[in-house]
A and B are shown apart, each in its own frame.
Chain A
């Protein structure tokens, strides 16, 4: 006991001592967002440093594709920065389990985030949260307002309206009704299945039931999105089978397509490229008057390297990342990346504001298979790329697609066996 006290006393004095000796501490942030380098350097970091003299911050991003492996190597070698930008779910959970990240549940800033926001960076039982949520991306549809006026259609509220609009564009013939391809596969899954699905499986409710093992992927609410996707096929452009993601973006921004199944991250690109008015609508609900659910996917957060010698200062920074000031700065610098905090963040970009306002009327949910359900092999998050594409191309019936997912999950996930 005495020894323990002595040791902690020594530790405290050494920490305090180092405080006194070196007034200025430099924190390094590891990140994959090299696109955001100037935003960090010009806006975010100066704002923090002005309020916290004595702490310098360096944003040191790696290329996105190499981030995970580079970070792992740095953590093993003990050269990683003090602050680690966290990928959602298992990407960061493995780091926490390996002792590379610290539990941050005690941070005051954590109270500014709801359960869905924290779910991306918490242990399965929710006992520990190891990263401060920064931003999410929301799915929906972005449309060409001028095309809608020209053809004389309104924003659809129900699935039937949605297909009526698509039919109108098909009959008109001047626009490709839906701008999406299946060559890169992931759009069909994230902008297709995960986008329209929450309305059927009732967002978090259905997702949690799946994790608990009380529903199956072959149940109607999980098959229905595939059935809707199967109807999409005829409204996509000619040769959509070989249409890639950039092709779809360009078709839309060039004004050749009417509706773009989107993620909010497209906003800054589309704002720069498209010279027509754009609007957005959330996924139409199956029946008029149904409650709407949106995919509001947790995407990016920040945690503390367990080996950081500057943990105290890093926590100061993390408190700031969880603050209202940061939420406003970040969301407005990067329209389309929405703050996960409970603060009422005002966006300057009208379309971004429109999209984020869906949260008020609709219930938020994350993408269905990213938490826990992709932990085994085969992981559902990869599997549903393939099945979503197959459903659109009518290579599999909706039931077969759902059956494949269920088999894949049941092959390793006990609650579903």
Chain B
């Protein structure tokens, strides 16, 4: 029997991706991990073991900022899960049904904000909601609801939710597109068979389509989770590095930014920054693992 040849081409073809990925992702990841175990003492990096983590979790000041950021981040994520994904599914369901005119137009229109830069979205919404030049107060005035207008981005109670909704507005196109695609991939026969059994309209959506798109919704949830816990750009462009008012819009990303790079006169602390980013990595890893092992493995899949 002929001995199997070593398949060199696999190595050759994988090499570029592995090299680039290692250099840009794996190596910095371990670099960050390493930094988090060091501290700068007298201009020298000194190994301090878990001291930085101890500072982060047991120093009241650090922990308060961290806890505040984590809470805000969680709320940011909850708003996305409660608004962005259901609305995305709903839009996809409406667009994929054959009763809507101009569905291609709407599909594009809903998706366009997604391809805009954070800076543009942040700036545009800041202007729209501006109490001085914004159109939001005037629009509300037109329908007699001027009293509902508040400087939404400037109040502690409303700023974070407003930002979350801006982000939902921007990214609702992504769940919509993914769900839309998986709805289109449901074979006609299945729906026709259901129709023969008397299941149509809403019932068809709840009983036939929704179970078939659960895996896509799962993927979207995990993408939302990772995206939200890494979010920074929108907060930074609209509220600035201090994530005001009174840190009410501070998320892990903006806290990390201030810690690592410093802010104004506060000099950056790369070691605490690295510590914080290792913790963020841990949070995201835990979330993704939970999804993979506890949810996805139990999800039922259907093969057509």
State the A residues within 8 Å of B (CB).
89-91, 94, 97-98, 181-186, 237-244, 247, 251, 369-370, 374, 377-379, 381-382, 385-386, 389-390, 393, 395, 408, 411
Query: Please, how many angstroms separate the alpha-carbon atoms of A358 and B150 in the complex?
Result: 40
Contact with A along B144-183 (1 / 0, CB 8 A): 0000001111111000000000000000000000000000
Known: A239-B131, A239-B151. A393 touches B266 (CB 8 A): no
- Interfacial chain A residues near B63, Cβ < 8 Å: none
A73 to chain B, nearest CB (A): 14
- Interfacial chain B residues near A389, Cβ < 8 Å: 244-246
Whether the Cβ atoms of A184 and B133 lie closer than 8 Å is no
- Interfacial chain B residues near A393, Cβ < 8 Å: 245
**Does chain A have a CB within 8 A of B126?**
yes
Q: Which 5 A-B pairs have the closest CB atoms?
A: A239-B131, A241-B154, A242-B154, A242-B151, A239-B151
**Does chain A have a CB within 8 A of B242?**
yes
Whether the Cβ atoms of B133 and A381 lie closer than 8 Å is no
Besides A89-B265, A182-B244, 7 new A-B residue pairs in contact (Cβ under 8 A), listed by A number: A98-B43, A242-B126, A242-B152, A370-B265, A389-B244, A389-B245, A411-B61
**Does chain A have a CB within 8 A of B104?**
no
- Interfacial chain B residues near A374, Cβ < 8 Å: 265-266
Whether the Cβ atoms of B265 and A381 lie closer than 8 Å is yes
Whether the Cβ atoms of B266 and A385 lie closer than 8 Å is no
- Interfacial chain B residues near A251, Cβ < 8 Å: 132
Whether the Cβ atoms of B265 and A91 lie closer than 8 Å is yes
Partner of B154 from A182, A186, A370 at Cβ < 8 Å? A182
**Does chain A have a CB within 8 A of B89?**
no
Whether the Cβ atoms of A390 and B131 lie closer than 8 Å is no
- Interfacial chain B residues near A408, Cβ < 8 Å: 61
Query: Please, how many angstroms separate the alpha-carbon atoms of A186 and B244 in the complex?
Result: 11
Partner of A242 from B61, B129, B246, B247 at Cβ < 8 Å? B129
Consensus secondary structure, chain B interface = loop
B215 to chain A, nearest CB (A): 41
- Interfacial chain A residues near B132, Cβ < 8 Å: 237-239, 243, 247, 251
Whether the Cβ atoms of B264 and A382 lie closer than 8 Å is yes
**Does chain A have a CB within 8 A of B130?**
yes
Whether the Cβ atoms of A94 and B247 lie closer than 8 Å is no
Partner of A185 from B61, B151, B244 at Cβ < 8 Å? B244
Query: Please, how many angstroms separate the alpha-carbon atoms of A204 and B95 in the complex?
Result: 68
**Does chain A have a CB within 8 A of B30?**
no
Partner of B242 from A91, A181, A386 at Cβ < 8 Å? A386
In the complex, the chain B residue whose C-beta lies closest to that of A237 is B132
Whether the Cβ atoms of B247 and A241 lie closer than 8 Å is no
**Does chain A have a CB within 8 A of B124?**
no
Known: A98-B43, A182-B154, A382-B263. A244 touches B126 (CB 8 A): yes
B258 to chain A, nearest CB (A): 8
- Interfacial chain B residues near A237, Cβ < 8 Å: 131-132
Whether the Cβ atoms of B266 and A183 lie closer than 8 Å is no
- Interfacial chain A residues near B153, Cβ < 8 Å: 183, 241-242
**Does chain A have a CB within 8 A of B112?**
no
A277 to chain B, nearest CB (A): 24
Known: A94-B267, A247-B132, A251-B132. A240 touches B246 (CB 8 A): no
**Does chain A have a CB within 8 A of B287?**
no
Known: A182-B245, A395-B246. A377 touches B154 (CB 8 A): no
Whether the Cβ atoms of B267 and A90 lie closer than 8 Å is yes
Whether the Cβ atoms of B151 and A240 lie closer than 8 Å is yes
> Quick one: which of B61, B150, B244, B265 has the most chain A CB within 10 A?
B265
Known: A184-B240, A389-B244. A242 touches B266 (CB 8 A): no
Whether the Cβ atoms of A379 and B244 lie closer than 8 Å is no
**Does chain A have a CB within 8 A of B233?**
no
A-B contact pairs, 9 of them (CB 8 A): A184-B240, A186-B264, A241-B154, A242-B151, A381-B266, A386-B242, A386-B247, A389-B245, A390-B246
- Interfacial chain B residues near A240, Cβ < 8 Å: 131, 151, 154
